[in-house]
Structure 1
C-alpha cells in the first residue's frame, strides 16, 4: 500500500512511530523502516501482532469502505475480513492484504463483511519496501 509518511518519532517509552496518511484516514503506527526516513510517499506492508478475538477487538463495521483512524491508544482498521482454510483470516484494506491470527472462530456470516479491528498501535507495524 502506498502511504504518505508525515514524520517518524520516538518517545522514551515507545518504539519508533510513524504518523501516516492514506486516502481513507490518518494514524500513527509502529515504523520498521529507516528511523531517519524523510516525509513522503512509501510503499508499505502492514503486519498485526495481536490475536483477533471477535467481539473484543473485532466487530462489524458501522459503514462500508476502507478506513484507518486513531482510536485512543489503538488504531482502528476497517476492511473486508475473509477467513482462510487454515483457521486464520485476511483483512483486505483497500487491496492490501493483512494476515491475521484468530484466537476464536469467526461467526459464519463474517466472510467478505466490512469489519473494524481495534489494535494497540504498537502491535501494528509498517515495513517499507521499494518496487
Structure 2
C-alpha cells in the first residue's frame, strides 16, 4: 500500500513512530524501516502485533469502509473481516490484507462484515518495501 509519511518521532520509551496519511485516514504508528527517512510516499505492508479478542478490542463497525482514527494512544482501525477455515482472521484494509492473531473465537456471523479494531498505536507497524 502506498502511504504518505508526514513526520517521524523517536521517544526514549518507544520505537520510532511515524505520522502517516492514507486515502482512508491518518494516524501515528510504529515504523520498521530505516530511522532516518524523509517525509514522502512509501510502499508499506501493515502488521498488527496485538492479540484480537472479539468483544474487547474487536467489535462490529457502523461504517462500511476502511478507516483509521487516532484516539489518544489508541488507533481505531476499520476494515472488512474474513475468517479462514483454520480459525484465523484476515482484515482487508484499503486493498491490503493484514493477518490477525485471534484469541478465542470470532462469531461466524462476522465473516464478511466490517469491524473496528481498537489497538495501541505501538502495536501497529509499517514495513516499507521497494517495488
TM-score tier (shorter): over 0.9
1:38 aligns with 2:30: no
**Per-residue deviation at 1:26?**
0.6
1:48 Cα deviation from its structure 2 partner? 0.6
Name the structure 2 match of 1:26.
26
Provide the aligned length of Structure 1 versus Structure 2. 131
In structure 2, the gaps of 5 or more residues are none
2:70 partner SS: strand
Residue 29 of structure 1 aligns to a residue in which SS? strand
Aligned position for 2:98: 98
Q: Give the TM-score, by structure 2 length.
A: 0.97
Between the aligned partners of 2:108 and 2:14, the Cα distance in structure 1 is 38
Please list, as runs of the form range in 1=range in 2, the aligned pairs for 1:70-109 lying within 5 A after superposition: 70-109=70-109
Tell me what 2:64 maps to: 64
- Aligned equivalents of 1:64, 1:71: Cα separation in 2: 20
**RMSD (CA atoms):** 0.8
Task: Indicate conservation of the 8 Å contact 2:24/2:94, yes or no.
Answer: no
Provide the C-alpha distance between the structure 1 equivalents of 2:41 and 2:118, rounded to a whole number of angstroms: 25
Q: TM-score, normalised by structure 1?
A: 0.97
| CA distance, structure 2, for counterparts of residue 130 and residue 85 of structure 1 | 32
Q: Is contact 2:60-2:114 (8 Å) kept?
A: yes
